[in-house]
Amino acid sequence: MRAIITRPREDVTYDDVGKNNRMLTGEYKTRWGLLKYSLPKWWKGKIRVEIYHGTIHKPDPNETIFVER
């Protein structure tokens, strides 16, 4: 599973494509491992994590979760 992690902008909205507020993670086997090792420590606030099982070349993620840091 892979994820696209997005941090909020100053106006508390999220970027949908590109920009400096999004990053793609590596491959992880569990959601716990993905959340523990892939979230940048310096990103604060309510972080959106879009989880994709298999390939990320789909229009919608399998699940979307929000993590408060």
Q: Which candidate, 49, 21, 46, 17, places its Cα nearest to that of 35?
A: 49
CA separation for the pair 51, 47 (Å, rounded): 13
pLDDT digits (tens, 9 = 90+) for 35-63: 999 998 888 889 999 999 988 888 899 99
Partner residues linked to 65 by β-bridges: 49
CA separation for the pair 15, 55 (Å, rounded): 21
Residue 45 pLDDT: 86
For residue 5, the surrounding DSSP H or E stretch is strand 2-6
Tell me the pLDDT band of 1, cut-offs 50, 70 and 90. very high
Distance CA 48, CA 14 (A): 8
Residues of the chain with pLDDT > 70, as a percent, come to 100
pTM, two decimals, is: 0.87
